[in-house]
Amino acid sequence: MNYYSTNKKAPIATLEKAVVKGLAEDKGLYMPENIKPLPQEFFDNIDKMTFQEIAYTVADAFFGEDVDAESLKQIVYDTLAFETPVVPVTETIYTLELFHGPTLAFKDVGARFMARLLQYFLKKEGKLGKGGEANVNVLVATSGDTGSAVANGFLGVDGIHVYVLYPKGKVSPIQECQFTTLGQNITAIEVDGVFDDCQALVKNAFMDADLNAHMKLTSANSINVARFLPQAFYYFNAYAQLKKQGKADQMVMCVPSGNFGNICAALFGHRMGLPIKRFVAANNANDIFYNYLQTGEYNPQPSKATLANAMDVGDPSNFARIHELYKGDHKAITSLISGATYKDEQIAETMKQCYAETKYVLDPHGACGYQALKDLLQPGEVGVFCETAHPAKFKEKVDAILSTDIDIPARLQAFMKGTKQSIDMTREFADFKAYLMQQ
Ligand SMILES: *Cc1c(COP(=O)(O)O)cnc(C)c1O
């Protein structure tokens, strides 16, 4: 299948090119030329299929023309070696727990999938370097979770070096450990700035002719099709789990959103026929999308630091994809997607209330999703919100708000034993460029 740029000024790309390049030449995001509807029969039987079987069916629709069936199956099965249970929180509100992967982040699936797919293409072309030589360099800007998921997804993968750029002092200590302690083919770069500065450095690097002549660069942010599309698997699986309980007829899916990759994948699923009634994009104080829904105007803003820091995004990349998916039709978008926005005080209040009433420990991101369903769910509907991070990743904040002492899963503790290694960087592109030119 071919991919075109949302800006329509770049050449059409193959899947391989879209994955290796990340961003199109015109700074647009790649979109698949068509989104294949899945047959009714699939939806009729989905509740009898395993997560891996469901995911393979979805993956085949996107990638089946470009990856042979056996390899694709292996990639999918390797990527999804964990569960994403749908757990009741109240009578009508369920949570889709997406934090049971290797770094307890929903981004684990996309990161691992992308690493395996890149490796597949490098191998197929005989381009895999000897002696650990990096053929492709992945640049990733993170406000926390992306860095750990990408670093761990790519750790030890031949032929690929990963540079994780993160804002100094703005990610939680546990998150920082997850990508600064790995070594091998992972380099952490601590930027004296905010997330948007990190994202700007990465975007500028992709556009820089000297750098591109010097090294092959790609992105593992959700601008990369191989990173965000596999997240569609989650929503098919969530639907399957609710259908099994006879609760899927009026399913509302609520996604706490930052760069809007996750909800965008859900919307691709909807376009493939997934019978979700409507969507809610839950935001923290970074309310750019919310304002777009109200006014039809998209006005990027500098990001604001909040309790839900993985959603501190002032110019969500995947807005371009959502806009393109509905051909810019504001009415079509608002009739399917609602928005909600919550300040830190409300997030903390929601966490407290939910804990007092249900004993469920929300993390600050999931709290936005839960509150949005509380506010927007209509009678007869069943709401599912994504719990996008394990609360222990934000242990200091969660414990302070709930007066708890929540357990840190063993998998997280293991990361905290390593030694931090990172490179200091200013937010000036010239400095970042000079550094990369020496690699
Ligand atoms: C990345 C992330 C989000 C936002 O996801 P997007 O795909 O960027 O919208 C929300 N919560 C957590 C915990 C995350 O790590």
pLDDT tens digit sequence for 359-412: 999 999 999 999 999 999 999 999 999 999 999 988 999 999 999 999 999 888
Q: Is the pLDDT of residue 132 over 60?
A: no
Mutate to test the pocket of ligand 1, among 365, 368, 390, 395 (most ligand atoms within 8 A of CB): 365
265 φ, ψ (degrees, to nearest 5): -65, -40
What the block records as the tokens of 303 is 């990001």
Of 13 and 102, the one with more pLDDT: 13
Mean pLDDT (whole number) for 107-118: 94
Nearest atom of ligand 1 to the alpha carbon of 149: 15
Residue 278, sorted as left (phi over 0), alpha (psi -120 to 50) or beta, turns out to be beta
Query: Rounded to whole angstroms, how far apart are CA atoms 61 and 38?
Result: 8
Distance of CA 346 to the CA centre of its chain: 24
The residues carrying an active-site annotation are 107
258 CA distance to ligand 1 centroid (A)?
Answer: 5
7 has a pLDDT exceeding 90: yes
Q: Give the closest residue (by CA) to ligand 1 atom 15.
A: 145
pLDDT at 303: 87
Interval 162-167 mean pLDDT:
96
| Average pLDDT estimate for 188-216 | 92
pLDDT class of 281 with cuts at 50, 70, 90: very high
Sequence letter at residue 322? I
Point out the ligand 1 atom lying closest to the alpha carbon of residue 393: 13
- Measured from the Cα of 144, ligand 1's closest atom is 15
User: Could you read off the pLDDT of 345-360 as tens digits, one per residue?
Assistant: 999 999 999 999 999 9
pLDDT digits (tens, 9 = 90+) for 27-41: 899 999 999 999 999
What's the confidence (pLDDT) of residue 130? 57
Closest Cα to atom 2 of ligand 1: 310
Q: Which pLDDT band, with edges at 50, 70 and 90, does 103 fall under?
A: confident
Secondary structure of residue 381 in the 3-state scheme: coil
Distance 224 CA to ligand 1 centre (A): 15
The Å distance, Cα 256 to ligand 1 centre, comes to 7
Quick check: 131 pLDDT over 60? no
Pocket of ligand 1, candidates 259, 307, 368: which has the most ligand atoms within 8 Å of its Cβ, to mutate? 259
Q: What pLDDT is stored for residue 129 in this prediction?
A: 59
**Is the pLDDT at 434 greater than 80, yes or no?**
yes
All residues at 6 or more sequence positions from 146 whose CB lies less than 8 Å from its CB, including other chains: 105, 107, 111, 140, 220, 221, 222, 310
**Confidence bin at 134 (pLDDT 50/70/90):** low
pTM value is: 0.93
Ligand 1 pocket residues where CB is under 6 Å:
105, 107, 145-146, 222, 256-262, 310-311, 365, 388-389
Name the more confident of 196 and 150: 150
DSSP 47: G
What is the predicted pLDDT for the residue at 206? 87
Task: Tell me the best of 99, 100, 311, 342 to mutate to test the pocket of ligand 1, counting ligand atoms within 8 Å of each CB and taking the most.
Answer: 311
Judged on CB neighbours under 10 Å (0-12, 13-18, 19+), 208 is middle
pLDDT for the residue numbered 22: 87
DSSP 238-256: HHHHHHHTT--TTEEEEEE
With contact defined as beta carbons under 8 Å apart, do 318 and 200 qualify?
no
Q: How far is CA 99 from CA 88, 244, 259, 354, in A?
A: 16, 22, 18, 19
Nearest alpha carbon to residue 384 among 368, 373, 400, 371 = 373
> How far from 89 is each of 94, 243, 252, 338, 369, CA to CA, in Å?
5, 17, 15, 21, 12
**Distance from C-alpha of 329 to C-alpha of 296, rounded to nearest angstrom:** 9
CB atoms within 10 A of CB 10: 18
Alpha-carbon gap, residue 215 to 154, rounded angstroms: 18
